[in-house]
A and B are shown apart, each in its own frame.
Chain A
Amino acid sequence: MTVAAEFGVLDRTPKELRAQGDARHLSLNEAEWTAIQTHFRALKREPTLAEVETLAQTWSEHCKHKTFTSPIRLTEGKKTRLIKNLFQETIVAATEAARKPWCLSVFEDNAGVVAFGKDWALAFKAETHNHPSALEPYGGAETGVGGVIRDVLGCGLGAKPVLGTDAFCFGRPDYAGALPEGAHHPRRTLRGVVSGVRDYGNRMGIPTAGGGIWFDDDYRLNPLVFVGTVGLLPRWAVKKEVKPGDLIVAAGGRTGRDGLHGATFSSANLAENAPTSAVQIGHAIAEKRLLDALLRARDRRLYRSVTDCGAGGFSSAIGELGAKCGARVRLEAAPLKVAGLAGWEIWLSESQERMVLAVPPKNLKALEAVFAAEGCETAVLGEFTSTGRLVVAHGAESVVDLDMKFLHKGLPKVERAASWTPPPTAKPAGGAAKPPAQILREMLAHPNVCSREWVIRQYDHEVQGGTVIKPLQGVRHDGPGDACVIWPHAAVGDDSDFSAFAVAHGLNPDYGRLDPYWMAMACVDEALRNLTCVGADPARAALLDNFCWASPDDPKQLGALVRAAEGCRDAAKGFGAPFISGKDSLYNQSKDEKGRELPIPGTVLISALAPVPDARRAVTMDFKGPGNALYLVGRTNDELGGSLCHRVLGRCGGEVPKASPACALDGFKAVHAAMLKGLVLSAHDLSEGGLAVAAAEMGFSGEFGARLDLDEVARDPRIYSDETLLFSETPGRLLVEVKPESEGAFLRHFGRGAKAAPVRRVGQTTANPILKVVGLAGNTVLEESLRALKDAWQATLPGMLK
């Protein structure tokens, strides 16, 4: 057997190694190169190119999350402490503390898995596809959606995707400033990304019914594209295992030269010389065939394990599946798009729509028949072994011969420095005062609040027939819902069982500019209160974390990231909501037109999933009739720091909104219990824009008015300003509509005492579609036509995309 092209490491200095690696986009640091060198010096041979590439892929930020698992020395003021493993000490610690028996698989598979009734489970995963989407918005979003769908297909023995949910952060579509050469305008990015999600999701037949968009010009060079999928699988299919002797079977698309270097590329600063082969467009129908074939083979129990080919292609997929035993691979058996690929190219290609299965030899014929019937190609690439080695050959050429232990455990831990200086709390300052009505109008028309109908209508959000609570709600089906509720009756095959689930998100980088800790807390709170609003059980929520950050090599950025992770931990502990999976995307910064680094604001997306015990008890956010009581759940504090009101006024400083999980959860649980009894007509969460925006949205969606009395709001006694009560963004608050005859029964669900969530009747709905607010002094603070407010809310996005 001959040996494939070598990659000289034995007699190089660390600096030379790094330079040599960077030239091939390998994204390994000097310590990692030294570890590779030491390993091969002991073996007395040079590594092959494919071995070095395999190590770089497996050790990449994308695959190993090395920042999150490395030791971090954090300096806070004069104090310094060592965090041994940020991921273990925050996200995992919170989940372990919660000890929920309904968590069936956390942090180990391609997605987190929770129980859904007695016989079923839900797999949930969200990831990002930021860099590819920056370069090619349509293809980047498409392949991002395709990738996260395969994550769920490759979770357990395969889950059927039943919901797509996608959140984006973009520069404003009306951005008028300069852009560096080659960067897409945010308007084009938005159009392309939405089209990509639409074309892939719709073709796959997965309802895209959740998500959100945040606009901030600091995302103009580094847009964030979060793609999420929920899959349904039988309980028996949650566990997977690989046994030595199982065949390695590749299924789906063919392997080509496309998509080389995606994984390492996602760890690198978005450089102008990004490898163009990392940019691909998707082939949804190839993936649909794969889905159809895989689930049929699953139900006949023809394979023992499965995973998707994502970043790193076969190298990651087979490396992962065989991590505990070993694998022998013959690359010449892989079906190719074009002839003449080198062994290392086949091994590392990231061609889309491929998966790898572990198949007992006796099942091979049956499995091949199932896939062939769906027009989906399969090939036997080798077998899993008990040698503990990853051995890859291409014809007579030895391509890789690596110790699995070194591959998966050999990554050296490098201590990183982080620093955190709490921002001084400044009194709100700057900007000009405006009348409350004008502030409200501008907030509703603001890109971060305005109607998303232009986007949502392009997604087939009702395919599979289970979207019982839709993203757009109200009389005219155009109001902003808090979350969608999915009743997966067609996939379950039982339309007498009304068990459903809801998915919601929380995201607010403006809070993070003041304090990432409180941003993370607020995001968890927001996701849970959105779930509560539609009738999901807030005590049964499972969370995903997605961190998107600039370079962690900058101690300040890393310090902020640590703060955010600690916020996630404390929120998860406080709400008793475990994290079940997550992902991070770092180095989201690029050089702007003047050559300065433009980092994104540190961003956490929290995605939450919870069961809706009975879909027929679900609730929408639109007012249902006149003369109903309006209750505000939760206390209002003077927390306008990072608020939309401040953004609209051009004001800085102020207190960042601070969640208090125990009290908030108490309120959410009470509202949920009342919903189960059918006592709640509508509910809406208070987030960007506070009480005023929530009441306006409920009003114009239901086409009824409201009269609110600010003096009735449960509040910090130091608040004397109507504006604060209207626009403060204190988390943990919901506005709830209750029939007059149900008020007593509704209130009985709320506790008393210092730790209980306050609930106060702050007004009532009216027949006339006008929002009227009476201030603390008894004067009318605001009296606005809801029709006019709705017009302002609806005009923004279509106007900016003309």
Chain B
Amino acid sequence: MKSPKVLILRAPGTNCELETAAAFRAVGGAPELVHIAELRAGKKRLMDYAILAVPGGFSYGDDVGAGRVLANQIRHALTDLRQFVRLGRPVIGICNGFQALVKAGILPHSNACDQSASFTFNDSGRFEARWVHLRLNTQSSCLFFKGLPEMIELPVAHGEGKLVLRSPRQLEDLKKNKSIALQYVTEDGKLMGYPHNPNGSIFNIAGLTNPEGNVLGLMPHPERFVEIHQHPNWTRQTYRKQAVGLEMFKNAVAAAR
């Protein structure tokens, strides 16, 4: 079977690119680390790839807001991104990549140009790394979630993960469009505050998808759960033995084939 080419976007300060590449490789993708300067200079072309992944990190130090400078760069260097999305090719933005996709106006509506959501500092005022329980929106058409259970666990690690919207009415739009891909929940699936919702995101939103379901942005790190021994309780053997992160990458590669 052919291996779909995956563009793993790098920028100064990207730092989850190797494990993201490893995850794609493990499920039969052909990942390639591409620096944004190479796209800007025209040495590489986005359209030559089947999948785009914007991995986590602190692009440009997150100095004027998480993902802000990267979002500008994406607008300038990936001018064909909207076309890429329209063609239905899978796009995943993880953590800093999610922040950048939102600030570049690709999520939650990839056909609107303006930024309609944003991120601000965690309510706790601190960077936090912890595993969280998440509920997938089974109604959404997100291609990354095929075959996954409704309740999953993944780690988060961020300081500016609180998703905010332009207006309350926008939340209704997100619900209507089934754009809310993932929510922070308790172990038994309830919407609760801190620490279950690690950052204070509106409506406990942890991830967004576009209405077409081929773009996924999420604060948690699926690339850190591609092997069961990455789960914090693997020594206890009391958890579901499925590395759900790996499934997301598998779905992306399957969709691109």
1/0 contact string of A462-498 vs chain B (CB within 8 Å):
1111111110110101000000000101110101001
Interface residues of A in 272-319 (CB under 8 A from B): 283-285, 288-289, 292
Whether the Cβ atoms of A616 and B229 lie closer than 8 Å is yes
A615's closest neighbor in chain B, by CB? B229
Whether the Cβ atoms of B127 and A460 lie closer than 8 Å is yes
Which of A460, A464, A702 makes the CB contact (< 8 A) with B19?
A464
Interface residues of A in 539-564 (CB under 8 A from B): none
B21's closest neighbor in chain A, by CB? A490
**Closest Cβ of chain A: how far from B51's Cβ, in Å?**
18
1/0 contact string of B1-42 vs chain A (CB within 8 Å):
000000000101111101101100010000000010110000
Which residues does chain A contribute within 8 Å of B63, judged by CB atoms?
A: 285
Which residues does chain A contribute within 8 Å of B86, judged by CB atoms?
A: none
Which of A460, A619, A624 makes the CB contact (< 8 A) with B157?
A460
Q: How many A residues are at the interface, by size bracket?
A: 35 or more
1/0 contact string of B59-87 vs chain A (CB within 8 Å):
01111000000000000000000000000
B227's closest neighbor in chain A, by CB? A495
How far apart sit A546 and B25, CA to CA, in the bound complex (Å)? 41
Which residues does chain B contribute within 8 Å of A493, judged by CB atoms?
A: 22
**Closest Cβ of chain B: how far from A654's Cβ, in Å?**
37
How far apart sit A618 and B21, CA to CA, in the bound complex (Å)? 26
Q: A457-B130, A490-B22 are in contact. Are A463 and B12 (CB under 8 A)?
A: no
Which residues does chain B contribute within 8 Å of A463, judged by CB atoms?
A: 15-16, 56, 157, 224
Which residues does chain A contribute within 8 Å of B232, judged by CB atoms?
A: 470, 472-473, 477
**Closest Cβ of chain A: how far from B186's Cβ, in Å?**
12
B58's closest neighbor in chain A, by CB? A203
Q: Which of B15, B60, B234 has the most CB of A within 10 A?
A: B15
Whether a CB of chain B sits under 8 angstroms from the CB of A728 is: no
How far apart sit A545 and B61, CA to CA, in the bound complex (Å)? 33
Which residues does chain B contribute within 8 Å of A198, judged by CB atoms?
A: 127
How far apart sit A198 and B62, CA to CA, in the bound complex (Å)? 14
Whether a CB of chain B sits under 8 angstroms from the CB of A246 is: no
Whether the Cβ atoms of A465 and B38 lie closer than 8 Å is no
Which residues does chain B contribute within 8 Å of A459, judged by CB atoms?
A: 129
Whether a CB of chain A sits under 8 angstroms from the CB of B155 is: yes
Which residues does chain A contribute within 8 Å of B13, judged by CB atoms?
A: 203, 284-285, 288
Q: How many B residues are at the interface, by size bracket?
A: 35 or more
Whether a CB of chain A sits under 8 angstroms from the CB of B235 is: yes
Interface residues of B in 202-257 (CB under 8 A from A): 221, 223-224, 226-227, 229-230, 232-236, 238
Whether the Cβ atoms of B60 and A285 lie closer than 8 Å is yes
**Closest Cβ of chain A: how far from B26's Cβ, in Å?**
6
Whether a CB of chain A sits under 8 angstroms from the CB of B108 is: no
B57's closest neighbor in chain A, by CB? A205
Whether the Cβ atoms of A457 and B131 lie closer than 8 Å is no
Whether the Cβ atoms of B230 and A468 lie closer than 8 Å is yes
B224's closest neighbor in chain A, by CB? A465
Whether the Cβ atoms of B58 and A285 lie closer than 8 Å is yes
Q: A285-B61, A462-B155, A465-B226 are in contact. Are A624 and B235 (CB under 8 A)?
A: yes
Whether the Cβ atoms of A202 and B38 lie closer than 8 Å is no
Whether a CB of chain A sits under 8 angstroms from the CB of B123 is: no
Whether a CB of chain B sits under 8 angstroms from the CB of A58 is: no
B130's closest neighbor in chain A, by CB? A457
Whether the Cβ atoms of A475 and B233 lie closer than 8 Å is yes
**Closest Cβ of chain B: how far from A681's Cβ, in Å?**
8
Whether a CB of chain B sits under 8 angstroms from the CB of A133 is: no
Whether the Cβ atoms of A465 and B230 lie closer than 8 Å is yes
Whether the Cβ atoms of A373 and B127 lie closer than 8 Å is no
Whether the Cβ atoms of B22 and A460 lie closer than 8 Å is no
Q: Which of A292, A459, A461, A463 has the most CB of B within 10 A?
A: A463
1/0 contact string of A617-633 vs chain B (CB within 8 Å):
01110101000000000
How far apart sit A495 and B21, CA to CA, in the bound complex (Å)? 12
Whether a CB of chain B sits under 8 angstroms from the CB of A89 is: no
Which residues does chain B contribute within 8 Å of A615, judged by CB atoms?
A: 229
Whether a CB of chain B sits under 8 angstroms from the CB of A88 is: no
Which residues does chain B contribute within 8 Å of A289, judged by CB atoms?
A: 12
The 7 A-B pairs at the shortest CB distance, nearest first, are namely: A205-B15, A465-B19, A285-B61, A490-B19, A490-B18, A460-B157, A203-B58
20 further A-B pairs in the complex, CB-CB below 8 A; given A467-B230, A477-B233: A203-B13, A203-B58, A203-B62, A205-B58, A292-B10, A457-B129, A458-B128, A462-B157, A463-B16, A463-B157, A464-B18, A473-B235, A487-B229, A489-B227, A493-B22, A495-B226, A615-B229, A618-B229, A618-B235, A622-B235
Chain B interface residues (CB < 8 Å from chain A): 10, 12-16, 18-19, 21-22, 26, 35, 37-38, 56-58, 60-63, 126-131, 155, 157, 221, 223-224, 226-227, 229-230, 232-236, 238
28 contacts between A and B (CB under 8 A): A198-B127, A202-B58, A203-B62, A205-B14, A288-B13, A289-B12, A373-B35, A374-B35, A375-B37, A458-B128, A460-B129, A462-B221, A463-B16, A465-B19, A466-B19, A468-B234, A470-B232, A475-B233, A475-B238, A477-B232, A490-B18, A490-B19, A493-B22, A495-B226, A498-B229, A616-B229, A618-B235, A620-B235
